[in-house]
Structure 1
Amino acid sequence: MSDDNKANLPALTKQVSELVLAGSLQHAEEAFSQAADEHGDYAVAEVLSTLPPQVTALHLAGFDGAKTSLATLLVPPKAWAESLAYLAATWPDNMIEDDPERIAENLFNHIHGVVYANDDEERRHELLEAASSTDHGATAFAILWSLAPREILEVAGEINNRGPHINVHTTSDSDIVPLAVDLAKASEDGWQRSLLELFPEYRNTADLADVELPDDPDEEPEFQQRGTRELLYRLRKQVPSVRTTPKRSTRRSLGSDIFS
Structure 2
Amino acid sequence: MSDEANENKGANLPALTRQVSELVLAGSLEHAEEAFSQAADAHGDYAVAEVLSTLPPQVTALHLAGFDGAKASVATLLVPPKAWADSLAYIAATWPDNMIEDDPERIAENLFNHVHGIVYANDDEDRRHELLQEASSTDHGATVFAILWSLAPREILEVAGEILSKGRYVTGQTSADSDIVPLAIDLARASEDGWERSLLELFPDFRHSAEMADVELPEDPDEESEFMQRSTRELLYRLRKQVPSVRSMPRRGTRRSMGTDIFS
> Residues 227-238 of structure 1: matches in 2 within 5 Å?
227-238=231-242
1:27 to 28, 31, 40: 31
1:104 to 101, 105, 108: 108
Tell me the number of residue pairs that the alignment of Structure 1 and Structure 2 aligns. 245
Read off the aligned partner of 1:141 and give its amino acid letter.
Answer: F
Gaps of 5+ in 2: 250-264
Shift of 1:2: 2.5
1:61 aligns with 2:55: no
> 2:218–2:224: 8 Å Cα contact kept in structure 1?
yes
Read off the aligned partner of 1:50 and give its amino acid letter.
Answer: T
In 1, distance between residues paired with 2:118 and 2:216?
32
> Residues 50-199 of structure 1: matches in 2 within 5 Å?
50-164=54-168, 166-199=170-203
In 2, distance between residues paired with 1:151 and 1:129?
22
RMSD (Å) for aligned C-alpha atoms = 1.4
In 1, distance between residues paired with 2:172 and 2:155?
12
In 1, distance between residues paired with 2:167 and 2:193?
13
In 2, distance between residues paired with 1:170 and 1:221?
20
1:8 to 2, 5, 12: 12
Shift of 1:61: 0.4
C-alpha distance after superposition, 1:76-125 (max 9, x if no partner): 00000000010100111110000000000000000000000000011000
Shift of 1:173: 1.3
Read off the aligned partner of 2:127 and give its amino acid letter.
Answer: R
Read off the aligned partner of 2:69 and give its amino acid letter.
Answer: G
Shift of 1:216: 1.5
> 1:5–1:39: 8 Å Cα contact kept in structure 2?
no
2:53 to 43, 49, 55: 49
In 2, distance between residues paired with 1:78 and 1:4?
21
% of aligned pairs identical? 82
> 2:7–2:43: 8 Å Cα contact kept in structure 1?
no
Aligned to 1:40: 44
CA pair 165-35 structure 1, distance change in 2 beyond 3 A: farther
> 1:196–1:203: 8 Å Cα contact kept in structure 2?
yes
> 1:96–1:229: 8 Å Cα contact kept in structure 2?
yes
Shift of 1:25: 0.4
Gaps of 5+ in 1: 246-260
Secondary structure of 1:210's aligned partner: coil
> 2:150–2:231: 8 Å Cα contact kept in structure 1?
yes
In 2, distance between residues paired with 1:229 and 1:198?
12
C-alpha distance after superposition, 1:55-93 (max 9, x if no partner): 000000000000000000000000000000101001111
Read off the aligned partner of 1:199 and give its amino acid letter.
Answer: F
Secondary structure of 2:9's aligned partner: helix
> 1:160–1:206: 8 Å Cα contact kept in structure 2?
yes
In 2, distance between residues paired with 1:244 and 1:126?
24
Shift of 1:243: 4.7
CA pair 165-18 structure 1, distance change in 2 beyond 3 A: farther
In 1, distance between residues paired with 2:187 and 2:98?
31
Mean CA deviation greater in 236-245 or 150-159: 236-245
